[in-house]
Structure 1
């Protein structure tokens, strides 16, 4: 950064930033620097009002008629197309529905069924040892389910774990059916090169599922350009959809006709209101859904999604990289000597939009920071994690957050007894 690194100089850069105005689109408490938007995004203005409209008008007055008159029935697909446009998806490839966990189960089951037909010898699900735990759990659970129901003997599905790109490439043989990867690692912020890795997986004959939970809305993604097969992710992080807001599933159009729905609920039926006793999957993206959709939550998702669509993703990414660089620089210069170890890649192309440091007392330090109005979070083992959300964070926010961190480290304020008491959610 050519400008002298002072708070005043950073404030001048903020004033000229084309994204600065977006901060007014969100509601955050005063005297709070929110560095946890990678876990739960901030409340967009208008979201509470939109939820109230659904409850008091569409439900309260429209009652059941609102499935037709208020567009409830088509909302998961309408929002899916909006989100898909942020991810390089084509119309009718994305649905906002269910949870990331359920959507991953659907995608894995579909991929295994496709490979069972095309290449029955492929019985391995490959994923990262450092993947978000639910991704591993779901893969293991699916493999166990399929094996327990199988009539075959001596041949079983299994989950194998890789540690890095080299071990991934070494593991790609003719036994691998599907590879499930998180585009951005939830703990370290490290990011895979989607284009190159997808090509390598396809060259081996396997299919790929990308978990975009820590990427959607934060880094540029082009699923069709990468020729990906499936993608899943949540809307409550960088897309600011609200706590537990519905997730999304994207399926490349070439797989639509072969997408087998293991959770064949009535909303994925071709004609759900014919109340047929036999299941016929919908001939479009509806086949990715399961049961009745949560309208109030979906309505709030649209508010945050519309804000994300207004922002220029190239500007968002550029500011994210700048703010992470600034955070790293300030921590390493102003907090030197206190045992903080950077675990996030420095290379721009190799990281997402959060930055993490390891410290043996990471939990206590985060607890002290939160008590001082700087909200980050903690992940085992010993990782302090800070989400960089360019739409509502400024350069001076980063400066002030690091100053609070320096003060806590310098005064040993983190050693207070109450900071060692673990919360249920860290």
Structure 2
């Protein structure tokens, strides 16, 4: 039996024993191998009918009554509670709305303001911080390898708060923390390489310095356990259109740890985050709880599409998703090593499970052209300049047969 036949047989056996295989039927799929769920998740089958109901009945018939009768007004926090277990958070700490970029800005400015209040976090080390030390916190540390918009927002937040911006790699973060550090913005998974960063360890280091930790979960939420509550993360943001399959431009979310909510001071206070939104008062009084993260009128159409999309998680544990993710990416690397000519591609994603997200990034000299040809042959990933082929593995609908086919087609294209 040839090596390709052996791997195909193994893939079939792995698919037959896959406990998540049945979840695939909850999505609208075709015969394309879709490995770009880390950019845009596939369409959950329940979404079209739900959106039609929102448009035709809730909007078309009930009209303004739907703010109360259809639950539009409470959607941001209600859907936030659906996201919460997927990132390891208790209810009442996440509000859905706005874009990731806007939420990064809110979180970072809010983090600096928390740090300057003193005692911003619950650890014993930070409890020793004094107001005089806190008032001198004038530096924001940001991941130098971050997705560009995080860097742009961090720079703007630094200007607004009078802080200096200090870009460093995540590995360098513990060594640069000090009494000047106000906030630290990090990505849980690097969008380009798929490297998983040490959220528990880095959060503890930030807290030991008396600063506030802000995490971007765009490439980890829905792909692996995050443990926001368990690890004492202060603030976190994330999108919902990747592994959460909320649809193009679906609203992002903001997590504010419960014990920080009464002190969280958003730089974007809007009528939706007012304690008395219909009081139309000229003075601003923030709402209690995570509602402080709201700003303006919610984007109802995309928000309720997201609510329907999250139904695919019924009965699915994030631990099972993580186990399959690691198995899929292991198998893909094995197939690539077996099929692709030696030296033609190089993986830039860590091999170690504890350092890998749910994607594999391969360096390839003519990556842009190679990805175009892969897509023409029914294998969809994406290209990141200058030379990276990026493949995202969404365990809810990607199978081992897909993985073997993708590696085989890649070898043929090369």
1:51 maps onto 2:51 in alignment: yes
Query: TM-score if structure 2 supplies the norm length?
Result: 0.93
Q: Does residue 263 of structure 1 match 2:278?
A: no
Q: Is the 8 A contact 1:86 1:309 kept in 2?
A: no
Partner of 1:82: 82
* Gapped regions of structure 1 (runs ≥ 5): 148-156, 410-426
Aligned: 1:404 with 2:409: yes
1:16-415 alignment runs, 5 A limit: 16-28=17-29, 30-118=30-118, 119-147=134-162, 157-165=163-171, 167-409=172-414
Q: Are the counterparts in 2 of residues 266 and 272 from structure 1 also a CA contact under 8 Å?
A: yes
Q: Deviations over 1:222-267 (max 9, x none)?
A: 1111011000001100010000000010010111011102111100
Contact 2:349 2:362 in 1 (8 A): yes
Q: CA deviation at 1:116?
A: 2.5
Determine if contact 1:217/1:308 at 8 Å carries over to the other structure. Answer: no
1:78-101, CA deviations, whole angstroms, 9 ceiling, x for partnerless residues? Answer: 111111122121221001111111
Instruction: Determine helix, strand or coil for the equivalent of 2:89.
Output: coil
**Separation in structure 1 between the aligned mates of residue 167 and residue 249 of structure 2, nearest angstrom:** 28
Q: Contact 2:7–2:335 at 8 Å: present in 1 too?
A: no
**Contact 1:326/1:398 (<8 A) preserved:** yes
Using the TM superposition, give the Cα deviation of residue 174 of structure 1 relative to its aligned residue in structure 2, in angstroms: 1.3
Shift of 1:353: 0.4
Task: For structure 2, list consecutive stretches of 5 or more residues without a partner in the other structure.
Answer: 119-133
Q: Which whole-Å deviations, capped at 9, do the CAs of 1:287-343 have from their partners, x for residues lacking one?
A: 101000011111111122121243122211111001101111111221032521110
Q: Residues 3-36 of structure 1: CA distance to partner in whole angstroms, max 9, x if unpaired?
A: x9421221122112111111111012x3310000
Q: Which SS does the other structure have where 1:197 is aligned?
A: helix
| Pairwise CA distance, 1:140 | 0.4
SS in 2 for 1:378: strand
The answer to whether the 8 A contact 1:143-1:159 is kept is yes
Q: Distance in 2 between matches of 1:211 and 1:59?
A: 34
Q: Distance in 1 between matches of 2:11 and 2:161?
A: 56
The worse-fitting range, judged by mean Cα deviation, of 172-181 and 238-247 is: 172-181
Query: TM-score normalised to the size of structure 1?
Result: 0.91
Please give the secondary structure, in 2, of the residue aligned with 1:237.
Answer: coil
Q: For residue 61 of structure 2, give the secondary structure of its aligned residue in structure 1.
A: coil
Does the C-alpha gap of structure 1 residues 126 and 68 become closer, same or farther in structure 2, counting only changes over 3 Å?
same
Distance 2:161 2:20 in 1: 49
2-side partners of 1:54 and 1:190: how far apart? 39
